[in-house]
A and B are shown apart, each in its own frame.
Chain A
C-alpha cells in the first residue's frame, strides 16, 4: 500500500461525493442545497486538481483535464450564488438556484469521469 495513492484516491472520491451531496435534491429548492457543502466541494476539487499536477502520462493528462472542468463548473456555480445574493440583490430565486445546481451537476459529471478513470487505472494495474 502506498500512502500517496491513498491520498490521491481519497481526494478524487471525496470531491465526487461532496459534489453529489450538493447536487442531490429538488433543483430549484434552496433548502435542499447547502452553501457549506458547495464550499467544501470547491476546496476539495481544487486540492484534487493540484494533486494531479505534474503527471506526464496520457491518463494523467485526462485526469487533470476532468478536474479542471469540475473546478470551472463549481466556481461558476459559486459565482452565480454570490452574484444573486450580493450584486443583483434578488436573493435565491428558484431560477438562480436551478442554474447553480445544474452547473454543479456538470461538475459532478466530470468528477464521475475522474472516478471512472481512477478505477480503470487501478484495474489495469496487475500488481
Chain B
C-alpha cells in the first residue's frame, strides 16, 4: 500500500459493484418472470389473475433469502412452479457469489491494511495530549515505550514488522498506543502518524536500518523543524549525514558505550553516577568492578571493536585484537583466529591479560569467548556485547563485569534527552569532573535515595510551569530561597526528598549543585533528583498558591471570598 490509504468505503463499494449488479439482475428477472406466468384455474373454470409486481416482489424476497413462507397468495400453477424452481437456483448462485466476494474482500490484505491505516489515523487524530512518535518497535523501541508509558506520556508507533506490531498489542500498557505496520521511511506514513500534529512532542527513529532512520530525520527536519528528532545511527557516515542537516540528537550505541567505557576507566564514580541518573525507571543500578589497568584482549574488530580499541588505547592500555580477518589495523598487535577457541586466546596472551572484550555481532560467540577466557584466567575483567535483549538470561547467568546492550543504551539516551533536557549539560559536567568529586556526590545521593533509579526532572520557574511562584515573585514581596521552596506540604514542613543538581539562569554561568541558601529568580531552570513523591509535592507547591504559602510560612490561610474577609476582620480586631 502506498500513499494515503484509500477511503475504505469507496474500496468496499468498488469491489461490490459486480455482485450487486448480479443480484439486482437476478432479482428483477425473477420478479418479472413471475408476473408473466399464467395463474392456476379457479373453481369456476376461469383462470386466476397473474401475480402482481407487489406479490411477486414479496414472494421472490422471501424465497431468495431462503425464508420460504410457501405459495402466497394462492397455490401456484404448474407454470409458476416451474419458474420458481428456476429462480431458487438462480438466487442461490447470486447470493453465494455476493457473500463469497464480501468475505474474500474482508480477508484481503489491501483491504485490511486500508482499514488498519484508517483506524490508526483516526486514533492519532483524536489524541488530545502530547505524544512521541516512535519509528521502529525493536528492542530499544520496546524499552522506550515501556518507560514513556510509566512516565505517563503517550506514544505512537510505526513498525515494519507485523509480528512486532502484534507483540505491541499484547503488551499491557496503561494507555492505548496506536501502532501502524508500515515503512517509517515514507513521509506520508509519518504524517499519518502525526508528525505534523501540534501534539507531537518528538520523533524517535530507532529502526535497524540506518537509511530509514536517515529518511525519518530528514522528513522531521523539513516537515516539523521545531520538533526534537532523536535518530539512531550505527555508521559514522549516517551520523555525519544526519548532522549535516541539523539533526539535533544522533545516537550511536557503539560510540556511546565507548564513551561509557572511557569514563569507567577514567573515573568509575562518575560512570556510576551517570548510570544511576540515566537508568530506566523502575530498575536498580548495581555497582560494577572497576576496569583494571593492564593488557586487554579484544575479540571481533567490527564497528564496536574499533570504538572499544580506541577507548582503551586512549586510556593508555595495550590491546591485542583477535579477529578472523587478516590484520586491518597495522598499529595493533593482531592475532588472526577464532576467539571462541582457547588456541587464539592463548596466542593473544590471555594468561597475562587483565580484561577481555567480546565484541562480535553474535551473542553465542561472545559468550563462548568469555567463558573460555575465564577458564584460562579466572580473574579477567569481562566486557560483553549483548546484541539481543532476548538473550538476557544467558548474560545474567554469566555475570560479566560490563554488558553492552545497544537497545538499552539507546533507550537510556533517548529518555534522558526527552524527559529532562537539563540532564545533558549536567552529565557533561560529570564527565569532565574529577573522580573524588563524583565519588562524594554519588555517595551522598545514593545514601539519600538508594541505588534504585531515581526520578530526575527539570522545572522552569515561569508562568506556565510554576504559576504560584511566578505570582509571588512578581509581587516582589520577599526573596525566595531554594531551600524554602523544597519542603513537603505537610505538618512541620520537612525537606523534600530531592536534591537540586543544576541551576541555569540566563546571563549567569550554570551553577552545579546549588546550595539551599541560593535565592531563586523568575526564569530559573532547575534540575532535581529525588523520589516520585517529591516531584508530585513540588508540582503542587509550584501550581497552588495556598500550598506555596503553607510551605513558606507553615500556616494555613483561609481561602474563598467570605473566609478571607472574615479572617481579615479578625486580624483587624486582634490587632
Cβ-based interface call for A82 (8 A): yes
Tell me the residues in window 9-32 of chain B with beta carbons closer than 8 Å to chain A beta carbons.
10-11, 13-17, 20-21, 24-25, 28, 31-32
Q: CA A42 – CA B24 in complex, angstroms? A: 10
Q: Which residues of B contact A86 (CB under 8 A)?
A: 52, 54-55
Residues B10 and A56 in contact, CB atoms below 8 Å apart: yes
Cβ-based interface call for B7 (8 A): yes
Residues B53 and A35 in contact, CB atoms below 8 Å apart: yes
Q: CA A65 – CA B28 in complex, angstroms? A: 23
Q: Contacts A39-B28, A56-B10 given; indicate if A82 touches B21 (C-beta within 8 A).
A: no
Distance in angstroms from A57 CB to nearest chain B CB is: 11
Cβ-based interface call for A120 (8 A): no
Distance in angstroms from B29 CB to nearest chain A CB is: 9
Bin chain B's interface residue count.
20 to 34
Q: Which residues of A contact B52 (CB under 8 A)?
A: 82, 85-86
Tell me the residues in window 37-62 of chain A with beta carbons closer than 8 Å to chain B beta carbons.
39, 42-43, 46-47, 50-51, 53-54, 56
Cross-chain contact of B31 among A39, A46, A47 (Cβ < 8 A): A39
Q: Which residues of B contact A56 (CB under 8 A)?
A: 7, 10
Query: Which residue in chain A gives the minimum CB-CB distance to B52?
Result: A85
Cβ-based interface call for A115 (8 A): no
Cβ-based interface call for A108 (8 A): no
**What number of residue pairs across chains A and B have CB atoms under 8 A from each other?**
44
Tell me which of B14, B52, B53 has the highest count of chain A C-beta atoms within 10 A of its own C-beta.
Answer: B53
Cβ-based interface call for A107 (8 A): no
Q: Which residues of B contact A43 (CB under 8 A)?
A: 24-25, 28
Cβ-based interface call for A68 (8 A): no
Contact with A along B75-99 (1 / 0, CB 8 A): 0000000000000000000000000
Residues B17 and A54 in contact, CB atoms below 8 Å apart: yes
Query: Which residue in chain B gives the minimum CB-CB distance to A45?
Result: B24
Residues B24 and A50 in contact, CB atoms below 8 Å apart: yes
Query: Which residue in chain A gives the minimum CB-CB distance to B7?
Result: A56
Residues A53 and B53 in contact, CB atoms below 8 Å apart: no
Q: Contacts A43-B28, A46-B24 given; indicate if A51 touches B53 (C-beta within 8 A).
A: no
Residues B10 and A85 in contact, CB atoms below 8 Å apart: no
Q: Which residues of A contact B21 (CB under 8 A)?
A: 47, 50-51
Q: Which residues of B contact A81 (CB under 8 A)?
A: 53
Q: CA A85 – CA B54 in complex, angstroms? A: 9
Distance in angstroms from A62 CB to nearest chain B CB is: 15
Q: CA A75 – CA B412 in complex, angstroms? A: 67
Q: Which residues of B contact A36 (CB under 8 A)?
A: 32
Residues B25 and A39 in contact, CB atoms below 8 Å apart: no
Cβ-based interface call for A110 (8 A): no
Which A-B residue pairs are the 4 nearest by beta carbons?
A: A54-B14, A53-B13, A43-B28, A82-B54
6 A-B residue pairs with Cβ-Cβ distance under 8 Å, sorted by A, are: A39-B31, A42-B28, A43-B24, A50-B20, A50-B21, A53-B17
A residues whose Cβ falls under 8 Å from a Cβ of B: 35-36, 39, 42-43, 46-47, 50-51, 53-54, 56, 78, 81-82, 85-86
